């Protein structure tokens, strides 16, 4: 099926995406044919990246596959028919004991190793970056990604967003820097907070956990105004004397600490404010019939209050502007992540004399979210840096796992 195989279990183990991502390295036409045959035979195995146009290593061709995490052991059993061709299987991202035992028993002649996920992630990024089409530059409004020749730059910073975020300087020929920094805000924070808020406010029709890919798609169609606290929410208007408009962001998802009975539900047509009381009644006097709690109630007290389903699920028409939808919650959280990641990346790049930053992660696969990030890149760098994005980020670690073990053994 392939000479070497890289397996990334991190998305499943971190509860970000319930899939395992696999890169198969094929060193001959026969191995390529076996890999394609394997995909055709198994309906739950998905083939990604058309024509495998990115991330080649000398004469080696790659096949990029993914399988549901629940089918990992079954996939290993089905792949065992090609065991005579498989020399090495390298795993990263907290592999389960069950899968590891299955691989060791089914591939007795192969070398089964585990590598650090972060090392594989950055190593894989370097392979994609050096391949035609692996990196695009985001320009214009709306953003228009275009191919970018990273080899023409003098070193770069790779900002990788996963469960957290890590930032690594890829050294140039004139530099030996190879530092890695970290920030805790990443996809884990976004998925956990999103599912907590959705469950808290009854904004979802089912109890199924939402994955990061779906959150990113929802974020495109939302607005953060109903979730974020703006200057006008905090001070009742703008602060023009110090250069702040009323629309300036004051606190990411700062409005979501409120109990639903305290939401300001001004209608889109500008008519009188409506509030939803704890008894389900709407009033127009700015107070809830069922509760005399003031809007400045401490967050800890608000979060301790039970939320009745009839409060959050009561249909309102026209739809209130300040009652958040799940798309709004997703947008607010993704914007919070983008602000954090772009700030850290540009800061570390500038401190180390790097003028090129490449971002990777699920949110940067979406052109609209790249457009959301571009103004922050321009703001932090004062327009001195071009925003670059490494595509196909879910396969960076598995591809790095394929090549890193060979590099360490050579």
Whichever domain contains 69, its CATH number is 3.30.420.510
| Distance, C-alpha 365 to centroid of its chain | 9
| HSE-up of residue 165 (Cα within 13 Å, Cβ side) | 28
Rg for the chain, CA atoms, rounded: 24
Whether residues 149 and 122 fall in one domain:
no
CA distance 94 to 118: 12
Q: Which regions of the chain are under pLDDT 70?
A: 1, 50-55, 140-145, 151, 172-178, 203-206, 238, 257-323, 408-410
pLDDT of residue 401: 94
Q: 48 lies in a domain? A: yes
Spell out the SS3 assignment of 222-241.
CCHHHCCEEHHHHHCCCEHH
CA distance 301 to 303: 6
Q: Which CATH number characterizes residue 169's domain?
A: 3.30.420.40
Q: 372 lies in a domain? A: yes
8 contacts: CB under 8 Å, gap ≥ 6? 20, 21, 22, 92, 93, 117, 120, 394, 395, 397, 398, 401
pLDDT of residue 378: 92
Peptide bond into 142 cis (omega under 30): yes
Whether residues 122 and 139 fall in one domain:
no
Q: 32 lies in a domain? A: yes
Whether residues 144 and 106 fall in one domain:
no
**How is residue 242 annotated by DSSP?**
G
Whether residues 154 and 118 fall in one domain:
no
Torsion of CA 262, 263, 269, 271, to 10 degrees: 10
172 contacts: CB under 8 Å, gap ≥ 6? 153, 154, 155
At residue 162's C-alpha, the angle toward residues 72 and 209, to 5°, is: 60
Q: 38 lies in a domain? A: yes
Whether residues 319 and 357 fall in one domain:
no
* Cβ 263 vs Cβ 281: under 8 Å: no
Q: 196 lies in a domain? A: no
Whether residues 98 and 25 fall in one domain:
yes
Q: Which of 323, 357, 380 is the last residue of a domain?
A: 323
Q: 204 lies in a domain? A: no
Q: 210 lies in a domain? A: no
CB atoms within 10 A of CB 11: 25
Provide the residue range defining the domain that includes 122.
Answer: 4-132+395-409
Whether residues 371 and 278 fall in one domain:
no
Whether residues 280 and 293 fall in one domain:
yes
Whether residues 120 and 8 fall in one domain:
yes
Q: 90 lies in a domain? A: yes
Roughly what angle, to the nearest 10 degrees, separates helices 212-220 and 187-201?
70
Whether residues 364 and 404 fall in one domain:
no
CA distance 216 to 187: 10
pLDDT of residue 55: 67
Pick from 238, 282, 242, 237: which is nearest to 263 by CA?
282
CA distance 402 to 404: 6
Q: Which of 301, 323, 345 is the last residue of a domain?
A: 323
107 contacts: CB under 8 Å, gap ≥ 6? 80, 83, 86, 89
Whether residues 126 and 81 fall in one domain:
yes
For the chain, the domain total comes to: 3
pLDDT of residue 186: 95
Whether residues 109 and 11 fall in one domain:
yes
Which token pair is 255?
């409005």
Q: Which of 271, 291, 323 is the last residue of a domain?
A: 323
User: What is the dihedral sign for C-alpha 162, 167, 170, 176?
Assistant: negative
Strand runs labelled E in 298-378: 357-360
């Amino acid at each position: 099926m392939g000479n070497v195989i890289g397996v990334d279990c991190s998305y499943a183990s971190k509860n970000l995406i319930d899939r395992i991502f696999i890169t198969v390295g094929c060193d001959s036409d026969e191995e390529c044919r076996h890999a394609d045959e394997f995909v055709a035979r198994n309906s739950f195995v998905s083939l990604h990246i058309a024509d495998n146009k990115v991330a080649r290593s000398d004469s080696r061709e790659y096949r990029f596959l993914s399988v549901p995490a629940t089918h990992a052991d079954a996939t290993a059993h089905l792949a065992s028919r090609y065991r005579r061709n498989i020399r090495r299987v390298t795993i990263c991202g907290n592999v389960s004991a069950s899968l590891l035992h299955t691989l060791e028993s089914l591939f007795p002649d192969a070398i089964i190793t585990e590598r650090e996920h972060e090392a594989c992630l950055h190593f894989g990024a370097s392979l994609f970056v050096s391949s035609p089409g692996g990196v695009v530059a985001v320009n214009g409004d709306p953003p228009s990604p275009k191919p970018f020749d990273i080899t023409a730059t003098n070193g770069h910073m790779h900002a990788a967003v996963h469960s957290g975020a890590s930032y690594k300087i890829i050294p140039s020929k004139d530099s030996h820097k190879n530092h890695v920094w970290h920030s805790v805000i990443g996809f884990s924070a976004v998925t956990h907070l999103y599912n907590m808020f959705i469950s808290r406010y009854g904004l979802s029709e089912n109890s199924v956990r939402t994955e990061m890919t779906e959150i990113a798609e929802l974020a495109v169609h939302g607005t953060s105004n109903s979730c974020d606290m703006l200057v006008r929410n905090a001070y009742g208007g703008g602060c023009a004397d110090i250069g702040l408009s009323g629309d300036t962001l004051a606190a990411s998802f700062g409005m979501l600490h409120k109990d639903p009975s305290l939401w300001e539900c001004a209608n889109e047509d500008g008519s009188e404010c409506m509030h939803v009381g704890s008894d389900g009644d709407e009033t127009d006097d700015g107070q809830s019939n069922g509760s005399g709690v003031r809007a400045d109630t401490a967050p800890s007290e608000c979060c301790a209050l039970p939320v009745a389903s009839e409060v959050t699920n009561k249909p309102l028409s026209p739809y209130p502007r300040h009652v958040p939808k799940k798309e709004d919650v997703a947008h607010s959280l993704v914007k919070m992540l983008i602000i954090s990641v772009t700030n850290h990346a540009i800061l570390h790049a500038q401190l180390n004399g790097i003028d090129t930053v490449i971002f990777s992660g699920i949110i940067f696969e979406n052109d609209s979210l790249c457009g959301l990030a571009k103004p922050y890149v321009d703001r932090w760098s004062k327009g001195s840096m071009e925003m670059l994005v490494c595509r196909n980020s879910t396969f960076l670690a598995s591809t790095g796992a394929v090549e890193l073990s060979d590099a360490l053994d050579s």
